[in-house]
Structure 1
Amino acid sequence: MKKIILIGLILSGVLMNAQSFQGKATYKTHRKFDLNLDKGKGKAKAKGMIDDALQKQLKAQLMKQFQKTYTLNFNKSESTYKQNEELSSPGGQMNGVRVQIMGNGGGSDILYKNINEKRFSNKTEISGKRFLIKDKLTDYGWEMSGETKNIGNYTCYKATRKREEPRTSFSMTDGEREEKKETVTIETIAWYTPQIPVSNGPGRFWGLPGLILEIQDGKQTIVCTEIVLNPSEKMAIKEPKKGKKVTQEKFDKIMDEHSKDMMERFKNKRKSKDGNSYSIEIQG
């Protein structure tokens, strides 16, 4: 009888520890760029508007804007992912060349994931208008691998996936808008550690038998730089509630319309000055 009670107490303790398990992971992001801008046409060429020096400055500016730090607060079934506060802005203009990063709400974004229910809620903003994207988590269909590497003190295993993705790019030269559509193959490589048994990771990545510590998604890389398990101060993981509720498909259409509107406004603004316009738009 005493043995049965003892076993019951041990099992209760294990369940309580699992229920109270929490962690905090810090991730840093960066992105590679192949920046090759036309040196200009017509008036822009005569003015030397886009030269090698300016291209170098633009590339440095873009790389800096994508070097962000995020914090993932998680327990066994839920998480929030939020950009840490920074002084830099998500876009800008340099020597008549406008840089606009679309789909990047910046520090105001909160991404909530519920792993058990396989859904997410993402609070984000477009030009000051708040949206709440509520939808199902993507089933990534990871291909598992026995390949390993160490990230910090953790042994990580490799998982991969490939997807076909439609991509539309825009450009403007002398006030004329050009649009290019293509389908590209994106490979995603994830490194996860079973030593932290939560099926979670940065951004919307999830679905592996361990916390994802590194993601290589096309030209974007996300790397975990710090992990704190069971911090002394308990974290409140709360799902965002405010904002216009939309599905991801609906939000993508809104983003597309907003992108076109921004390009048209920039075109008209530049034409009213000297007729020269260059715009770089990046999907965040």
Structure 2
Amino acid sequence: MITNTTIKETIVQKSAFYEDDGTLTQYLEFHYGEQWHGEANFPRALALAAIDAMDGRTLNRALDIGCGCGRTSFELARVFAQVDGIDFSGKFIEQCQTMARDRVVRYARVEEGALVTPQERSLESLDLEYTAERVAFHQGDACDLRPEFTGYDLVLAGNLIDRLYDPSLFLTRIHERLNDDGLLLIASPYTWLEEYTPREKWVGGFQKDGEDYTTFDGLRDLLTPHFTLLIEPRTLPFVIRETRNKFQYSFSELTVWEKRREG
């Protein structure tokens, strides 16, 4: 019998992509580097969208789940008293913790082939130095969060759900981590791949009862028992630089959900 434990072990093996040094440097540039092709820094834009949605709400605690290299967590800490950043990748979390501790990260950005240029990025240069004391980073599994990660006013899942081994498990339990009236912000390009998520676990992107069933359809069905859609879907562009001449240009669909009061 195939269980979630079996699936998780398989996905862990295939998720070595996110432990690769080349991928790490790409994501450090994605989070802290230059803006490319006229598009805003995506991790920062995501945080700004969340802060805008939180207008007038309690700003005590936020959870940035799938935090990558940490930029969104630091940006959220401009207004939140405490931010927890969680990622599955140990290498990503090490870099987050380095940035929080040393206020600077250094990496070699690939130009072409074996040619690289050294990069140094600091929180001070991004006007984020004061936020480091409000942020804590942890390695963890979005589908199996530890009990202490609860009581949040905001949960942000940026470019996460289509890389989970069981996204429905995450989506049907995440309300347990939020305070009443708290917000869940999900952003995703919905690039479902069987190397990360078994096809039977996809939230959408297939036909159901003879009709197209999108990921937004799946989100609505899974989240409606505990959430109300607060803001209609919109897209945010993002650019990941691989080399001087190669970029990934994508769009992430952003939805904002409000947790309903229980009882």
Shared fold (TM-score, shorter chain, > 0.5): no
- The structure with the larger Rg is 1
Q: Which structure's residues are more often strand, by fraction?
A: 1
Q: Which structure's residues are more often helix, by fraction?
A: 2
Q: TM-score, normalised by structure 1?
A: 0.24
